[in-house]
Amino acid sequence: MDIVLTAAVKLLFHLLRWLPVRLAGGLGAGLGRMAYWLDARHRRIALRNLGRIYPSRSLNWRRNTARECFAELGRTLFELPHVFQRSRDFLLSRIEIEGEQAFREAYERRRGVLVNACHHSNWELGALMFSVLGYHCAQLYRPLRQPGLDSFLKRCRERFGTELHSRYQGLRWMTRHLRQGGVVAMMIDQHVSNGVPVPFLGHAANTTTLPAIYAVKYDIPMFGVALLRQGRAFRFRLRFWSIPLPEKSGNAARDQQATMAAVNRSFQGLIDERPELWLWMHRRWRILDDAEDVA
């Protein structure tokens, strides 16, 4: 099954690669809107999440936003052959960069840099951009259950020099990479069963403390990064921003929680700006969902 699935994905990549990227993205968006109507489970999750975060917005607005979120996911998936197979020059020609100076200055101090990101717009392109821009970057990722497909996608993601490390292989690589002055990037907007409850978009959500552990212990600079699609085209703005560390209290667990609260808070305005670009069909507030369902 893995061999068949891997071959099918490679064939689809080959076919989509020859379509203009705008056309491929448009096709994916159309299928995403279709999936909104067919996938009742994830449609309900998206609408529930939007209702929690934007209770004052109309039901019609929430439905439109959820549908466009599905469209953005479809657009992103069908753009992947271009993201993973087109040249560095092509990718750079489609992206404007905002706020990189402070990030580059922190990187050049060779103390290591921690980057926090979300599943926002075409996040695979965003993750690839660190190595495209010449940064020595390592990222934590969750391997797929299909080894062949995982190997293929891992090669695509690492093609410009990014190092991917499985979440199951321990964290010694992370300490080593930061000590070498590299960038470590992590997604912070997924439910983590062993995480700590920290507000995300104003509501408690189980959040990884991994970036905060290193930032608090070693005083490593923290940044946020996001890729913002311009309209519906394959054109983006890559935005960097510094995340100041809260003053230390002397309690490591409390400091880590406060740090992750600051990280989460820094994404609020970005998601509010264009909510349809964020992945609403994930159960980000699972602890609240479970409490409400029990009640």
Predicted pLDDT at 167: 87
Contact 115, 217 (CB under 8 A): no
Predicted pLDDT at 170: 86
Q: Where are the domains of the chain?
A: 2-294
Helix (H, G, I), strand (E, B) or coil at 79: helix
| Report field, pTM of the whole predicted structure over 0.85 | yes
Mean pLDDT by 10 residues, the chain (295 residues): 87 93 97 98 98 97 98 98 96 97 96 96 96 96 91 96 92 94 96 93 96 93 97 96 91 93 96 97 94 72
Predicted pLDDT at 294: 62
What is the torsional sign of CA 142, 145, 148, 149?
negative
What is the torsional sign of CA 138, 140, 142, 147?
positive
DSSP state at residue 275: G
Predicted pLDDT at 292: 83
For 159-192, the DSSP string reads TTSPEEEETTS-SHHHHHHHHTT-EEEEE--S--
